Amino acid sequence: MSAGFRPRPLSAAVTADPQSGAGAGPSAAGEAVVDVYTDGACRGNPGPGGWGVWLRWGGHDKELHGGEPHTTNNRMELRAVIEALGALSRPCQVRLHTDSQYVQKGMTEWLPGWKRRNWRTAGGDAVKNADLWQALEAAAARHRIDWIWVRGHNGHGGNERADALANLGVDAVIAGAPVGRSTGQGAP
């Protein structure tokens, strides 16, 4: 993960295009608004996996990707969001776009029940990936997040870019290359 991603508030609002991922401006409170697109990928499930993140704020963007040699798709979906939120150096209004209903529903519907039941499902089983759910909850706590589900592999520009980055992460793992790379503009 790279350090120091600091989106700054802009002086004028920019209209967002959810299909292209274009434009994020300040919230009504003047905090930075960041559009975040995340995806996970796995070749075999379990198998080598990757995560990808595309962050957009104002006229800036940043790409992140990484991977693990033996993981699952759901773990990579969670890891992508954790890495995205961890790249933000200060509290932000976040529009988080994911094609994972597991992530979106987990954060908006299931998490309170899991915590109430001491990380158990309604059926009494241990919650899978509890370590990552707890990390995600901690990463999300300092931001205001709109959890937006998008249909995967359906031509959504932000999701397609995050998917390509996740696959770069898988490719790097398979090739034995270092993973956990970022590209794009640093802190404005």
Averaged pLDDT of the chain = 84
Judge whether 152 and 145 are in contact, CB under 8 Å.
no
Burial of 124 (0-12, 13-18, 19+ CB in 10 A): exposed
Judge whether 89 and 187 are in contact, CB under 8 Å.
yes
Give me 55's structure tokens.
Answer: 């962050």
Give me 125's structure tokens.
Answer: 């089983």
| pLDDT tens per residue across span 1-35 | 334 444 433 222 222 333 334 445 555 556 679 99
Q: What CA–CA distance (Å, rounded) separates 106 from 86?
A: 19
Q: Just give the CATH number of 33-184.
A: 3.30.420.10
Judge whether 177 and 125 are in contact, CB under 8 Å.
no
pTM: 0.82
Q: Which residues are catalytic?
A: 39-40, 77, 99, 153, 163
| pLDDT tens per residue across span 112-161 | 999 999 999 999 999 999 999 999 999 999 999 999 999 988 888 899 99
